[in-house]
Amino acid sequence: MGESPVEKAVVSICARLNELKIPYALAGGMAVNRYEVQRNTDDVGIVIDRAGLRRFKEEWLGRGWVENFKGSKGLRDAINKVKIDFLLTDEIPGDGKSVPFKFPNPNDASETDEDGISVLTLPRLLDLKLAPGMTVPKRPRDFDDAMRLIEANKLTRDYGSKLHPFVRAKYDELWLIAQMPDPKLEA
């Protein structure tokens, strides 16, 4: 981990979640970074269940974290001045209605990295990058993240079989695009 405010916020909140033994998984752009893709982001995404979020707030609200507004699921790291987006396991990703799956249970969809941070597994991260891109037209960055994950991790076409059926065709489409040569690199 580097020294940017977002990276410090990841280390801080994950340490507190680990101390409380609350299951969670790092998601979003910071999880993309953990899979060999350099991705700038200004917030932290955390998959968690409602009970875990409630427990975290009971313990830490007002002690380095503040709510975006009273009762919100989103918080702000007051020390590092970084937005924390909690993605709840009983909610549907993307547009919140068209995707046939919910955010995954961190106990079943994460692995601990070398820094002791629980990160979404690559298949679940790809699910959560492809589904929003498919259902929210103003989210092309998610498709770019997915394609860059395919390239950086040298994923095969059949890797798509590890993904939710809803996103497999889009994975295949992006996999094919990722195989195309980059004209800038050939010039």
Report whether pLDDT(151) > 70.
yes
Question: What order do you get walking across the sheet with 43-48 strand by strand?
Answer: 65-67, 75-77, 82-88, 43-48, 25-27, 118-120, 110-112
pLDDT tens-digit map of 123-142: 999 999 999 999 998 999 99
Which tens digit of pLDDT belongs to each residue from 53-98?
999 999 999 999 999 999 899 999 999 999 999 999 999 999 999 9
In sequence order, the β-bridge partners of residue 46 are 26, 86
CB of 46 closer than 8 Å to CB of 83: no
Instruction: Tell me the two tokens of residue 65.
Output: 């974290």
Q: What are the beta bridge partners of residue 120?
A: 110
Please state, rounded to an integer, the average pLDDT across all residues of the chain.
94
Contact 46, 25 (CB under 8 A): yes
Instruction: Quickly count: other Cβ atoms within 10 Å of residue 62's Cβ.
Output: 9
Tell me which residue of 83, 157, 89, 159 sits closest to 128, measured CA to CA. Answer: 89
Q: What is the pTM of this model?
A: 0.93
* pLDDT tens digit sequence for 14-62: 999 999 999 999 999 999 999 999 888 999 999 999 999 999 999 999 9
The two tokens of residue 32 are: 């993309």
* Domains of the chain, start order: 5-180 (3.30.460)
DSSP character for 161?
Answer: G
Q: H or E segment at 28?
A: helix 28-34
